[in-house]
Amino acid sequence: MNAPGFSGINQAGELISLSDFKGKKVVLYFYPKDNTSGCTAEACNLNDNYHSFLEKGYEVIGVSPDNEASHRKFIDKYQLRFNLIADTEKKILEAYGVWAEKKMYGRTYMGVLRTTFIIDEQGVIESIISKVNTKNHAAQILDL
């Protein structure tokens, strides 16, 4: 299945599109919120293993509904080395089917389903990880 094309603004105000990475593998991960415990653990684990991703030809891109300023602070605080896209209008989240109804403590609300898509050099989805282990997510991806 072809990955839905997208364009979004990163932490530096630059337009990032999936087409920018044609010929490269992409780890496209969706997460709920900057600076929360699970999202921080996931981002830091990916960052700690960033060199391994580059060695295997992957580019890492995170997407959440947070804005650019939030992403900048998150990146600065944890020295993240990859792009985070601000999808405040939830267009990318919806295109990938990860903006959905969630339930917690008996309450129903709309939110991000933590999910990672592995996209090959031709823009085809190779794998989808929907049960993300935030503390060991890099191993989940690199062991595929």
Residues labelled catalytic: 39
The residue type of 111 is G
Strand duo 99-104 + 7-10: pairing? unpaired
Nearest of 118, 96, 41 to residue 74 by alpha carbon: 41
Q: How far apart are CA 63 and CA 34, in angstroms?
A: 10
Strand partners, 102: 109
Provide φ and ψ at 60, rounded to 5°.
-105, 130
For 96, the token pair is 């990938």
